[in-house]
Amino acid sequence: MSPSRPETFILGVDPGSHQTGWGLIGVSGNHLRSVEHGLIRLPVKESLSARLLQLHEELTVVIERLQPDEVAVEEVYVARNAKSALILGHARGVILLACARSGVTPAEYPANTIKQAVLGQGGAAATKERVAFMVRSILGLAEVPEPADITDALACAICHAHRREMPR
Amino acid sequence: MSPSRPETFILGVDPGSHQTGWGLIGVSGNHLRSVEHGLIRLPVKESLSARLLQLHEELTVVIERLQPDEVAVEEVYVARNAKSALILGHARGVILLACARSGVTPAEYPANTIKQAVLGQGGAAATKERVAFMVRSILGLAEVPEPADITDALACAICHAHRREMPR
């Protein structure tokens, strides 16, 4: 692949009901670089609808400002129980909506697929620490971004960069 | 209570991942009347984000047009499994967001509380048919609105009408 190939920008998002990580990477051929990343923290004391509004608005600002070509959102681990899944579903709903309202159809990847994309393996051995270490290595970052919500978001973007190049 | 008391408009919403029912009632003292109701059907073949966008936009149009004073949203039955709960959570997330973006903080009631409000009892005996029958009776409707998503939404609005009058 030619290094003069135009750069594609991919935004990865790791949804959470308390905080949502995001990371933008640039992809040019097989070269990946980190552009910017951040964390959307939600106020605990607000009502659920107010928290969802804040998440939706902050992510919309990020999308409008960074203008990603593509967005990839981590599919939620089917959580410990139905109640956790329901709350996480609320957060994911307004994240997918923010993409759709900005004219981007988000790709979705299960957590295990993302781990396999950056580590070559999934399952229990694929810890958050190992994902963070490999994200740093793949993107050539001086330090591991924290918290893990951000490295998970960058891993999701890396996963999409790999999968979108694969022949169907 | 005086019949000249100004009317308060309550929108009830019954969220679903395939279709979402809504119903607006007018409350004046202890008199309740049905104003309008409807159903938002979602295209099955679209992507999840496109379906959520449609649900959000259609409900926003309903809220902006009807200008309810208050909105009440049914809390989802903790579904059969975590996967169902997750998808329902997505729909509920964009519904709560539509309320928040229109400046209304939605009240939320568990399904069993809603059944108790219209039937005086919850549990397995409180079938959808009995809820629909009582909604028709309470609101003095000529016919039972269908499908049950609409009567469930009206029941949610009735529940809110009763609960908001209760001393804290």
Residue B121 to chain A, least CA–CA distance (Å): 24
Q: Which DSSP letter does residue B81 get?
A: S
pLDDT value of residue A126? 85
| Helix/strand/coil for A28 | strand
| Alpha-carbon distance B73 to nearest alpha carbon in chain A (angstroms) | 11
User: Could you tell me the CA-to-CA distances from B19 to A160, B12, B37, B54 in Å, in that order?
Assistant: 31, 14, 13, 11
Q: What is the DSSP letter of A150?
A: H
At which residue do the structure tokens 């997330």 appear?
B93
Nearest CA in chain A to B91: A93
**What pLDDT digit, counting tens, does each position of A73-102 carry?**
998 766 667 777 788 899 999 999 999 999
What residues in chain A have per-residue pLDDT under 50? Answer: 1-3, 168
CA B47 to mean position of chain CA atoms:
25
User: How many inter-chain contacts (A to B, CB under 8 Å) are there?
Assistant: 103
What positions of B carry a catalytic annotation?
A: 14, 74, 149
How far, in Å, CA of A142 to CA of A163, rounded? 26
CA distance B13 to B115: 14
Q: Are A48 and B86 an interchain contact pair (Cβ–Cβ within 8 Å)? A: no
Backbone angles phi, psi at B91, to 5 degrees: -65, -45
Contact B99 A49 (CB under 8 A): yes
Domains of chain A: 8-163 (3.30.420.10)
In terms of C-beta density within 10 A (0-12 exposed, 13-18 middle, 19 or more buried), how is residue A144 classed? middle
pLDDT bin (cut points 50, 70, 90) of residue B156 is very high
Question: How close B143 comes to chain A (CA, Å)?
Answer: 34
pTM of the model: 0.90
The encoded tokens of residue A164 equal 């979108």
Closest residue, chain A, to B49 (C-alpha): A96
Q: What is the identity of the amino acid at A12?
A: G
ipTM of the complex: 0.87
Residue B118 has pLDDT above 80, yes or no: yes
| pLDDT mean over B108-116 | 94
The closest CB to that of A89, out of B49, B53, B93, belongs to B93
Say which of B49, B89, B105 has its CB closest to residue A99.
B49
Contacts of B83 in chain A (CB under 8 A): 78, 85
Contact B85 A90 (CB under 8 A): no
The per-residue pLDDT for A1 is 47
Residues of A in contact with B49 (CB under 8 A): 96-97, 99-100, 105-106
- CA A81 vs. chain centroid, Å, equals 23
pLDDT exceeds 90 at position B165? no
Tell whether B144 is within 8 A of chain A (Cβ). no
**Burial classification of residue B4, based on how many CB atoms lie within 10 Å of its CB (0-12 exposed, 13-18 middle, 19 or more buried):** exposed
- Name residue, tokens 């003292």: B29
As beta bridge partners, residue B24 has B11, B36
